Amino acid sequence: MKKFKFLLTLTCIFLVGILYSQPVPSWNFDTPMVDRFWIAMDETFDTVPGMNGGIINNPGEDGRWYFYDAADPWFNIWFWNGDFLPMNSKHVVIGFWAHVWDPGFDGEIQVVVNWDTPDWAWPPPQPPAPPLPPFSPPEQELEFVGRSPVNLFPLPASGEMQWIEFWWEIPDFNPDWISVDVWGQNFIIPMEQPLPPPDSPLFPWISPWWNPAEPGGIIIHECVPPDPADLNYEFGDAPDQSLAYIDGTIGDFPTCIRAIPTDYNDYISHPCPNPLFFGGWVDCEEDGNAGWCPYFNPDKYNEDECGGTFPYPPNPAGIIDEGLMMPGAFTITGAVGSETYAPCGTLTVPLGKVCDIANWGQQIDAWIEAQGTTTGYFHLLIDWNQDGVWANDPATTCGGQMVPELVVLNHPIAGPYSGPLSAIIPPLPPVQIGPKDGYVWARFVLTDDTYGPLPEDWDGHGQFDLGETEDYLLYIAPEPVPLGNWPILMVVALIAIFTVIFLRRKM
């Protein structure tokens, strides 16, 4: 068997048979899931046959313990934990009685909480199977399995029962699967478990869910929705570290706080609510794309607003979130590897043809609200070359001139104003469309002057004190194929043919 390996060891406090290593949590359970488990390991760090199992309160789970050895050796039992939810968090409490397997020798047990990472959970349909060994390459264990710090608990050779408990919180998402992981020597978590000690720190969290008729230790875990107080920002929607175009191009648009890899502050945000916004209101979220960031594919694009509302109401306040009035907006749908573009609504008109001009109020427009004496600025970025970033490309030209992807920059909006961008004073300049047909991600942004005027190479990121960001997938139509001289030649040929036929009939 592998040599026993210590990971990070937490100092544990011995309190009259109660082993505990943390302050009590600040939360309580409402409607958690409850599972039970038992296991024994001998002095050789191997499991004792017939002494390992669990009661799994979800059909289809097998209650088995699995051996993991890619990073460090562990025995693990998985419990289904509900759907992966990026805006939620997870609360976990574990408690059990344990003692040495072979009296006369000291024992020790290490316990951690594991969970499947978003890289495993997304995209579906990867669950409902947990990330089971073996992994190929072995490094995938670290990619797909998250782990709490290690709790090390010594067990006296006297064989005295010890009550062990600890808790953990997964703050950034609710995983599909959660597990109890153990490692050690000469210990047993028996099937026969006395009642938890009333003086244990976690007794108020464990006792309401302890069923004395069920064997083994207990794991209590609950999916927790976000606190409404945390939903006080508005973010963008364009794909960040996810598929941006169905040719395989990955988007690196500055949208997600949780995108990996990411640069510090490489996203865009605005406080919510605030008096400068598109459409009828500012939507509040925990991260971009209505909190789904950075998980877009499959079928999670445009979870915030998609556009395509037509006809647009004269006064959208309180009616719709999105501000886009024209052109039509699109989205990406379909399973991974089979994605297609689809319209968001009934309006499917393109922004225009390649290298054409789009005029405000005719081919492009958006509704804005600048309440009170708010002074703001409008900015527009469009990914003309479809490379997944907003940055000027000298090769993107029309008529020998580069077409900038920073289409509009620092255009002033004086409040109070409620209406379309096409009617603001001073008027917006026409939009020079790029040379490549197909679909392009566009970012419409309202900001204050948090950073002063934005620079000429701005890429769409920043944390602003006012405003809103809305991202849309627009369509650029191709230039009609030129017919050249073929129509004239065909007419001449037809005249010649009919002339010959006419002359033959005259003869």
pLDDT (tens digit per residue) in 378-397: 999 999 999 999 999 999 99
Query: CA-to-CA distance for 485 and 356, rounded, in angstroms?
Result: 24
Residue 410, Cβ density class (10 Å: 0-12 exposed, 13-18 middle, ≥19 buried): middle
- For residues 93 and 206, the answer to whether their CB atoms sit within 8 Å is yes
pLDDT at 498 over 90: no
What percentage of the chain carries pLDDT values higher than 90? 60
* Highest averaged pLDDT of the listed ranges 1-5, 20-24, 269-273, 391-395: 391-395
DSSP strands (E only) in 176-263: 177-185, 187-189, 217-224, 233-235, 240-243, 250-252
pLDDT band at 129 (very low <50, low <70, confident <90, very high): confident
**Per-residue DSSP letter, 190:** -
Radius of gyration of the chain (CA): 31
Which residues pair with residue 470 across a beta bridge? 444
Domain ranges of the chain: 9-224, 231-477
Closest CA to 20 of 148, 146, 199, 222: 199
Peptide bond into 416 cis (omega under 30): yes
What is the token pair recorded at 15?
């309190």
What is the token pair recorded at 111?
């316990």
What is the token pair recorded at 458?
């701005």
In this prediction, residue 75 carries a pLDDT of: 93
pLDDT at 62 over 70: no
The C-alpha angle with vertex 160 and arms to 157 and 163, in degrees rounded to 5, equals: 120
* Highest averaged pLDDT of the listed ranges 8-22, 79-93, 137-151, 180-194: 180-194
User: What letters, b where the CB count within 10 A reaches 16 and e where it falls short, cover 49-77?
Assistant: eebbbbbbeeeebebebbebebebbbbbb
Location of structure tokens 């490692």: 183
Segment 226-248 shows an average pLDDT of 89
DSSP per-residue string spanning 73-130: -EEEEEEE--S-BTT-EEEEEEEEEEB-SSTTS-EEEEEEEEEE-HHHHSSTTSTTS-
Q: Which fold has domain 9-224?
A: Jelly Rolls (2.60.120)
The C-alpha angle with vertex 276 and arms to 271 and 279, in degrees rounded to 5, equals: 105
Segment 345-367 shows an average pLDDT of 94
Residue 196, Cβ density class (10 Å: 0-12 exposed, 13-18 middle, ≥19 buried): buried
Mean pLDDT, the chain, whole residue set: 86
Query: CA-to-CA distance for 67 and 92, rounded, in angstroms?
Result: 22
What is the token pair recorded at 410?
């620092």
Please compute, for residue 131, the number of CA atoms within 13 A of its CA located in the half-sphere on the CB side.
28
Closest CA to 379 of 424, 426, 411: 411
Phi, psi (degrees; rounded to nearest 5) at 501 = -60, -45
Q: Higher pLDDT residue, 45 or 58? A: 45
pTM score: 0.74
pLDDT at 112 over 60: yes
Look up residue 186 and give its amino acid.
Answer: N
Is 229 in a helix, a strand, or coil? helix
In this prediction, residue 235 carries a pLDDT of: 93
Look up residue 159 and give its amino acid.
Answer: G
What is the token pair recorded at 357?
């001009």
Query: CA-to-CA distance for 113 and 92, rounded, in angstroms?
Result: 8
Instruction: State the first-to-last Cα distance of the chain, in angstroms, to the nearest integer.
Output: 107
Look up residue 474 and give its amino acid.
Answer: L
pLDDT band at 290 (very low <50, low <70, confident <90, very high): confident
Query: CA-to-CA distance for 165 and 206, rounded, in angstroms?
Result: 9
Which residues pair with residue 414 across a beta bridge? 375
Residue 206 contacts by C-beta under 8 Å, 6 or more apart in sequence? Answer: 93, 95, 165, 196, 200, 218, 220
Segment 397-423 shows an average pLDDT of 95
In this prediction, residue 457 carries a pLDDT of: 94
In this prediction, residue 10 carries a pLDDT of: 30
CA distances (Å), origin 449, targets 158, 253, 376, 377, 410? 70, 22, 7, 8, 9
In this prediction, residue 169 carries a pLDDT of: 95
- For residues 321 and 280, the answer to whether their CB atoms sit within 8 Å is yes
Phi, psi (degrees; rounded to nearest 5) at 170 = -100, 105
